[in-house]
Amino acid sequence: MVVVTIGLLLGLVVGWIRKGSFWALGNLSMRGLWLVALAFFLQSLAIHSLHGTAYILVLSAGYVGMMGFAGLNLHTAGIPWMATGTVANFTVMVMNGMGMPAYLPVVQHYSPQLVPLLLAGRLGKSIAMTPDTRLNFLGDIFTFKVASFVSLFSVGDVLIAVGLAVLLQYLMTHPKGGVVSGSIQKTAP
Amino acid sequence: MVPSKKLRHSFAAVYAVLGWGALLTWSVTTHRALSIPEWVVLYTLAGLLLLVERFHIPVTAREVVISLETVYLVAFSWNFPLKTVVCGGFLYAIVSSLRYKGNWYTQAMNALAYVAAASVSIVTAHQLAGFQTGLNIMNIPLLMAYFVVYFFVNIVVVAIYLVLQTTRENTKFLLRSIFSVRAILVYTITLMIGMLMAIVIQNAGLGGAILFTGLIILVAWSYGDYFKMANHFKELAIRDELTGVYNHRHIQFVLDKWFAAETPFAFLMLDIDHFKRYNDVWGHVQGDEVLRKIATLLQEHSQTGEVCARYSADEFVLALPGSDLDELQVRAEAIRQAVEQMELPGVERVARTRLTVSIGIAVYPEMADNKKDLLMRVDDAIYKAKVTGNNQVFLYESVLDEVQQDLVNDDPEQEIVRTLRVFLAILNSKDRYTYAHTERDVNYATALAKKIGLPEERLRYLRLGAFLHDIGKVEVPTEILTKRGPLSKDEWVVMRNHVELGVSIVRPIQSLALCLPIIRHHHERYDGAGYPDGLKTQNIPLEARILTIADSFDAMTTSRPYQRKRNLEEAIQELRQCAGKQFDPDLVEPFIEAVQALGILPSGSQMDLA
């Protein structure tokens, strides 16, 4: 989440520098916004309360919802980035039993107490990255540390953050935002 | 055979794909699989390249920028395994190429040039340094070798691409700009920033690269504003405000530059026919719109390295480095047709109304060796296009040049010939019509003489005589020569006197003695009513009778202030009516056939605008 928050802040700052308006964010009009809320709810439900097949199905449904939303708004600035990030995350999870592989040496370096928990099984949606892990380069391999808070994230998360930043600054600098499929072809300059 | 544009683009696309294929194959087969930390580096590099692709640091106000991609590839290649850099560069190439859609290969090629240069130069540096990794900034010879290899590889990759993708002239032009002092300055600055970043990464890792990126972006952004301002003022100074193409000042600068560099080029001038009348009828707002449309059309017809400018109110020019004459005429003709077919207001109200342009072409160095002469040549060409009916393309050609060549080769009296040339220049400046008219007379008279089989030697004197027949007008006052209304009795006396004045000017040149009867008698009439001697029928020298027809025909078919221009059919009809009166009847039909074979006058009536 940290990287997505950074994307959000970056989008607002760039939008402001480019003489955009914060009020323009209110013009956000996208198709199927409810799918995002549903997807977040399903992901949260799966990670915190479900196990086994129910976990896999509900988490997958959450990702499918997100990808459906991205598909509906693919012509909107930033959405192609977010869609690619979501697909990258979903792909690596599907290939690894709906678990997101985390690069252990990084975890060991910053939060050694989490290593045994990861090795023992799933921690949230994270699993330990092993030599058998498929598409390991799409897993959580980046780290970000602010004070004592450490965040582990994947290249998919970075793409989602970039997409969010592009979208926000676009909305801020285009007061008639109202981004409807097919009406706007340009991405942010 | 010159490959088509589409084929050239296909070559370029294949080249980009093959180049990347070779580079990737080499890096994959010679290096082990990437570890997770290397993937992190790969993603970081690709991400930073994508970010900085949108920022450039201007170096001078003359559109020279530092491409920041090079900085990152240099810095990363000094600190991380080459495979990581190549794959990171490849990921960047794919993602950034997507933005270019149909031109994807251009960006793929750009990225290839950067990555290939960084790869080959770092391999060379590693070999020279005995495979020690890490940058030692004090190892100056090694860094110099690195610089040279980088420059060389980059140029080679780009040059191959240019050869495949663009025309030979454009390639030469672009390569010349690559090998300029300014370009080498940019390379040096870029590589030095790259070295600096390499040191930062060496000491602070990827965090250092990200910090450096922040700095670079801020510098690029703030510098960009200053350069934007400088460029804005520069654009104001060199662009035409109305049409957006370059202005008169800039084209003069370009011409000076090309003349100084002895760059062969073609100069094409386009004049809108009857534009004043268009403005009068449709108003200046609409006239401005027409100028904009024509400027846009010209820009669409110009290629890289060519300069399009508005020369004056309704005149545009196109300067094309190294164009060959055939291609040039085809392109000029395409422009002429495109203007003729342009959709304009008024077409729906006045049927057959078309705006047309007359185009003149002159080429350096073949037709002129300095700017002033070139501009005069192109002006002459456009004048000929205008006076013979508008809506035409005319390549500059001068009978004077040929005639002078004849004289200079054969005659010792070069001083007199030079004087003669000065007289002709004076005549041209006094009355342009007369000068251009004599050139056409030469062509018409030559055509008729060949038709009736005049011997070669007599033909030569006929050409010289035809060219000099009006030279006596140099002594006629300009106000009489260019008078719009009918001449008074006294003025006619002065005007008629030009034949005798011409004879007295040419008489000192012994070798032109055979031209004197032509000059003296070209205003005689077959029925004896002409001047100065009132000669009749066969008493008039044959060459003078030939010239009389040519001279009259040209007067009929060109626009004069006091006389409506006839089209070809009308002129032929008049020639036939005057056969036996003004003209030798035996020469009229051969002349008509000769003129029709020349095909330089449009038949049918010309529709005037509005």
Q: What's the pLDDT tens digit per position in A113-163?
A: 888 888 887 778 889 999 889 999 999 999 887 777 778 899 999 999 999
Task: List CB contacts of A67: < 8 A, sequence separation 6 or more.
Answer: A83, A86, A87, A90
Q: What pLDDT does A189 receive? A: 33
Looking at the complex, report in whole angstroms how far the Cα of residue A34 sits from the nearest Cα belonging to chain B: 30
Residue B61 in this model has a pLDDT that exceeds 50: no
Please tell me which of the candidates B36, B47, B54 has its beta carbon nearest to residue A158.
B47
The token pair at B344 is: 């304009």
Residue B446 in this model has a pLDDT that exceeds 70: yes
Nearest residue of chain B to residue A159 (CA atoms)? B47
Give the Cα-Cα-Cα angle B46, B49, B50 (nearest 5 degrees). Answer: 85
CA distances from A32 to A62, A67, A71, A77, A86 (A): 14, 11, 10, 16, 16
Q: Contact, B57 vs B223, CB < 8 A?
A: yes
Looking at the complex, report in whole angstroms how far the Cα of residue B38 sits from the nearest Cα belonging to chain A: 10
The token pair at B301 is: 């017809």
- State the Cα–Cα distance between residues B81 and B77, nearest whole angstrom: 7
Q: What pLDDT does B310 receive? A: 94
The predicted model gives B462-486 an average pLDDT of: 80
B chain contacts of residue A140, beta-carbon cutoff 8 Å: none
Q: Give DSSP secondary structure letters for B384-420.
A: HHHHTTSS-EEE---HHHHHHHHHHHH-S-HHHHHHH
Q: Give whichever of A47-56, A62-71, B96-105, B303-312 has the largest mean pLDDT.
A: A62-71
Please tell me which of the candidates B36, B43, B47 has its beta carbon nearest to residue A103.
B36
Compute the half-sphere exposure of residue A10: CA atoms within 13 Å on the CB side of its CA.
16
Q: Contact, B572 vs B552, CB < 8 A?
A: no
The token pair at B64 is: 């020279």
B chain contacts of residue A155, beta-carbon cutoff 8 Å: 43
A chain contacts of residue B47, beta-carbon cutoff 8 Å: 158, 162
Q: What pLDDT does A47 receive? A: 86
Q: Where are the domains of chain B?
A: 5-238, 242-397, 398-610
B chain contacts of residue A104, beta-carbon cutoff 8 Å: none
Packed helices B36-52 and B181-238: angle between N→C axes, nearest 10 degrees: 40
What residues pair up with A81 in beta bridges, in sequence order? none
Please tell me which of the candidates A103, A136, A155 has its beta carbon nearest to residue B43.
A155
Nearest residue of chain A to residue B55 (CA atoms)? A189
Q: Please give the DSSP secondary-structure letter assigned to residue B560.
A: B
Residue B431 in this model has a pLDDT that exceeds 80: no
Looking at the complex, report in whole angstroms how far the Cα of residue A122 sits from the nearest Cα belonging to chain B: 21
The predicted model gives B170-198 an average pLDDT of: 80
A155 near B CB under 8 A: yes
Looking at the complex, report in whole angstroms how far the Cα of residue B44 sits from the nearest Cα belonging to chain A: 10
Task: List CB contacts of B88: < 8 A, sequence separation 6 or more.
Answer: B41, B42, B43, B44, B45, B46, B49, B76
Task: List CB contacts of B269: < 8 A, sequence separation 6 or more.
Answer: B311, B315, B316, B317, B359, B360, B361, B378, B379, B381, B382
B chain contacts of residue A103, beta-carbon cutoff 8 Å: 36
For an interface test with A, the pick among B38, B41, B43 (most A C-beta atoms closer than 10 Å) comes out as B43
Is A129–B36 a contact, with Cβ atoms under 8 angstroms apart? yes
Q: Is B19 helix (H, G, I), strand (E, B) or coil?
A: helix
Nearest residue of chain A to residue B39 (CA atoms)? A137
Task: List CB contacts of A71: < 8 A, sequence separation 6 or more.
Answer: A83
Is B39–A137 a contact, with Cβ atoms under 8 angstroms apart? yes
Q: Contact, B207 vs B41, CB < 8 A?
A: no
Looking at the complex, report in whole angstroms how far the Cα of residue B206 sits from the nearest Cα belonging to chain A: 11
B chain contacts of residue A137, beta-carbon cutoff 8 Å: 34, 36, 39
Looking at the complex, report in whole angstroms how far the Cα of residue B34 sits from the nearest Cα belonging to chain A: 9
ipTM: 0.86
Nearest residue of chain A to residue B51 (CA atoms)? A162
DSSP E strands in chain A: the ranges are 100-102, 126-128, 140-146, 149-154
Question: pLDDT tens digits for A2-47?
Answer: 888 899 999 999 999 888 888 888 877 788 889 999 999 999 998 8
B chain contacts of residue A129, beta-carbon cutoff 8 Å: 36
For an interface test with B, the pick among A130, A155, A157, A159 (most B C-beta atoms closer than 10 Å) comes out as A155
- Stated as kind and residue range, the H or E segment containing B183 is helix B181-238
Select the CATH number that applies to the domain covering B398-610 from these four: 1.20.210.10, 2.40.10.10, 1.10.3210.10, 1.10.1740.10. 1.10.3210.10
Mean pLDDT computed over every residue of chain B: 82
Looking at the complex, report in whole angstroms how far the Cα of residue A184 sits from the nearest Cα belonging to chain B: 15
A chain contacts of residue B99, beta-carbon cutoff 8 Å: 187
Exposed e or buried b per residue across A50-68, where buried means at least 16 C-beta atoms within 10 angstroms of its C-beta: eeeeebbebbbbbbebbbb
Residue B442 in this model has a pLDDT that exceeds 60: yes
The token pair at A55 is: 């976990």
| Torsion angle of the four alpha carbons B307, B308, B312, B314, in this order, in degrees rounded to the nearest 10 | 160
Strands B307-312 and B315-321: antiparallel
Please tell me which of the candidates B36, B47, B54 has its beta carbon nearest to residue A141.
B36
A137 near B CB under 8 A: yes
Q: What pLDDT does B610 receive? A: 26
Exposed e or buried b per residue across B37-72, where buried means at least 16 C-beta atoms within 10 angstroms of its C-beta: ebbbbbbbbbbbbbebbebbbbbeeeebbbbbbbbb
The token pair at B226 is: 């200053």
The predicted model gives B361-378 an average pLDDT of: 88
A141 near B CB under 8 A: yes
A chain contacts of residue B40, beta-carbon cutoff 8 Å: 141-142
Please tell me which of the candidates A136, A158, A189 has its beta carbon nearest to residue B36.
A136
Whether the upstream peptide bond of residue B365 has omega within 30° of 0, thus cis, is yes
The token pair at A11 is: 């989008």
The end-to-end CA distance of chain A, in Å, is 26
Strands A140-146 and A149-154: antiparallel
Residue B488 in this model has a pLDDT that exceeds 60: yes
Q: Greater confidence, B389 or B535?
A: B535
Select the CATH number that applies to the domain covering B242-397 from these four: 3.40.190.10, 3.40.50.300, 3.90.550.10, 3.30.70.270. 3.30.70.270
Please tell me which of the candidates B39, B47, B99 has its beta carbon nearest to residue A141.
B39
Strands B357-364 and B393-395: parallel
Compute the half-sphere exposure of residue B133: CA atoms within 13 Å on the CB side of its CA.
9
- Stated as kind and residue range, the H or E segment containing B64 is strand B64-67
Question: In B, what residues contact A, Cβ < 8 A?
Answer: 34, 36, 39-40, 43, 47, 54, 99
